[in-house]
Amino acid sequence: MTPAAQTGAPTFTRDVLPYFRLHARTPAQTGDQVIDMKSSVDRRRSPGLILAVLLLGALAMKTMPAGAQEGLALPAPASDLPASQAPEEVAVLAGGCFWGVQGVFQHVNGVNNALSGYAGGARSTAIYELTNDGTTGHAESVRVTYDPRQVTYGQLLQIFFAVAHDPTQLNRQGPDTGTQYRSTIFAANAEQAAVATAYIAQLDETGVFKKRIVTTIEIGRQFYPAEKYHQDFLVRNPSHPYIVYNDLPKIANLKRLLPTLYRPEPLLVSGAR
């Protein structure tokens, strides 16, 4: 956050959302059970607090980037990975807060697991409290394990660009700013990188986005799973203000734009193969 952004009247993005995200992302341990602190607060909050949250939420419209582009009908990639009979392949994608990106891919047919985590930095700094200042090189990411006989790498990229995030926003997504929220494809190999590079060029050429895509491609970066309290967050907290405003529309857009790839019941990390 820049010094200039720290001045002025209270805003939803600067003063309210950080509170909710901080408390939602801080686990309280009771034995082996991880308790979501924000969910506990939600159960106790008063109608007055709910109304205040809704009113403050309206201010978020003034803090979002103008013309944010999500939920667009995109052409399928002209090139894709060769057909594979392997039972599983992996794609690692970063598109802002991993709560929503994970939630999207948990609703995709052919996905066997979608795990929130960090990629781009060192193992020693793959901790939320360290990554959230944007200095570790990590991006909040999702490792998508999928069956290539049911869904292709190219189709996952189509979902990523069409509904999971806005690939024209540089080092931010919606209310979240910093390199930890950058749009990045962490390609596992040169073949994945080639498909991603070609698809970005294809989309830029079509002009479907009003601005050029700023998604970067990083090859061979290690992925590190995020803390337990981040996993399945969207499904476990559907009434969380951040989820309602930023992420539930992504699920609706997936169902609307790519119905044949949409899975009604999400596959949770706890139930993944």
Q: Who has greater pLDDT, 271 or 210?
A: 210
Give the pLDDT confidence of 104-156 residue by residue, as tens digits: 999 999 999 999 999 999 999 999 999 999 999 999 999 999 999 999 999 99
Asked if residue 106 and residue 232 are part of one domain, the reply reads: yes
Question: Which tens digit of pLDDT belongs to each residue from 59-84?
Answer: 444 445 555 678 999 999 999 999 88
Residue 74 belongs to a domain: no
Within this chain, do residues 237 and 119 fall inside the same structural domain, yes or no? yes
Angle CA(253)–CA(225)–CA(34) in degrees, nearest 5? 90
| CATH number, domain with residue 250 | 3.30.1060.10
Residues 120 and 139: beta-carbon distance below 8 Å: yes
Same domain? 129 vs 195 = yes
- Do 155 and 110 share a structural domain? yes
Mean pLDDT of 157-175: 97
Q: Are 255 and 262 in contact (CB under 8 A)?
A: yes
114 and 174 co-located in one domain: yes
Residues 207 and 122 in one domain: yes
User: Are 40 and 172 members of one domain?
Assistant: no
Residue 84 within a domain: no
Catalytic residues: 97
Whether 149 maps to a domain, the answer reads yes
Q: Are residues 58 and 93 in the same domain?
A: no
In the prediction, which pLDDT does 52 show? Answer: 43
- 77: in domain: no
Question: Cα–Cα distance between 55 and 193 in angstroms, integer?
Answer: 44
Domain that holds residue 29: 9-62
Considering the domain boundaries, does residue 106 fall inside one? Answer: yes
82 in a structural domain: no
Cβ neighbour number for residue 205 with a 10 Å cutoff:
8
33 lies in the same domain as 94: no
Contact criterion met (CB below 8 Å) for 88 and 112: yes
What pLDDT sits at residue 24?
44
Of the candidates 46, 56, 95, the residue with the CA atom closest to the CA atom of residue 242: 56
Q: Within its chain, how far is the Cα of 233 from the centroid?
A: 11
Q: Tell me: pLDDT of 253 over 50.
A: yes
Residues 143 and 98 in one domain: yes
157 and 33 share one domain: no
> Residue 59: its pLDDT value, please?
45
Number of domains in the chain: 2
**Could you tell me if residue 2 is inside a domain?**
no
- Tell whether 140 and 190 lie within a shared domain: yes
Please report the DSSP string for 94-122 in residue order: EES-HHHHHHHHTTBTTEEEEEEEEESS-
